[in-house]
Structure 1
Amino acid sequence: MTNVDELSDRYAPEAETPLIDTFVAALNAGDLDRLAGCFAEGAIVNDAGREIRGRKAIAAWAEREFLAHGGHITPTRMHPVSALGGDIVVEADLSGTLRHGPTTLVVTLTEGAIALLRLRA
């Protein structure tokens, strides 16, 4: 897997990059326990307006909406929304039978975990 640090025009803070790398690796490997561990206890995934809340529901969503359709994500660029911190934008290519093509993930982190993940087509 390509480390998203190598793809960035501007680096995210060092503490945040490994978490996003771990999230992507867990998703691609189908490791739902490790994937769930990337999220805060009350985390939310917003997928095209649908909200999925909590680690268990997020793991079930990833399995149903991504893994069951042969999904794979390849980050192409990562950058913070601002130099002052806040959200991190991950541009990526998706492959799979349900979803494919370019996508953007907006990741909000809190205390070393993903608090909010918004998917944009």
Structure 2
Amino acid sequence: MTHAPLPIPVAAALEAANAGAIEDFLAAFAEDGAVDDWGRVFRGHDAIRSWSDAEFIGKQVRLTVTGCRTAADTTTVSTEVGGNGYNGPSDFAFTVADDHITLMRITG
């Protein structure tokens, strides 16, 4: 599916997740960036790594982008999730500042 270009840190995070490259995934985030997984917030690289090891990259996640939309500093990416954890449609809202993700919120 064709979609609008993603902000560079968002594209980098998705590519890193699909490649199983945790260091590259973390590099897309600001040092104090966070993941909000349905209200559970993991702030900072160490916390994001722990969450990802247990529930994201550690589950061999595969994200196929099915659409995206941007409003102000937030890009919401619709995906089809595969891997050894959750499988199905999901939306990720990425807030970007200064070329890094400050928040990745799983929204649907």
- 2:3 is the alignment partner of 1:7: yes
1:20 positional shift: 1.5
The residue number in structure 1 matching 2:19 is 29
Stretches of 4+ moved more than 6 A in 1?
none
- 2:106 is the alignment partner of 1:116: no
* Greater C-alpha Rg: 1
Assess if the C-alpha contact under 8 Å between 1:75 and 1:91 holds in 2. yes
Question: How far apart, CA to CA, are the structure 1 residues paired with 2:21 and 2:59?
Answer: 15
1:77 to 67, 88, 100: 67
Instruction: Please provide the CA RMSD for this pair.
Output: 1.7
Structure number with higher strand proportion? 2
The residue number in structure 2 matching 1:95 is 82
> Which consecutive residues of structure 2, in runs of 5 or more, have no partner in the other structure?
none
The total of aligned residue pairs comes to 108
1:71 positional shift: 1.7
Assess if the C-alpha contact under 8 Å between 2:22 and 2:57 holds in 1. no
Taking only the aligned residue pairs, the percentage that are identical comes to: 26
> Which consecutive residues of structure 1, in runs of 5 or more, have no partner in the other structure?
none
Question: How far apart, CA to CA, are the structure 1 residues paired with 2:27 and 2:60?
Answer: 22
Question: How far apart, CA to CA, are the structure 2 residues paired with 1:86 and 1:23?
Answer: 16
TM-score, reference length from structure 1: 0.81
Question: How far apart, CA to CA, are the structure 2 residues paired with 1:26 and 1:120?
Answer: 20
Question: How far apart, CA to CA, are the structure 2 residues paired with 1:93 and 1:87?
Answer: 19
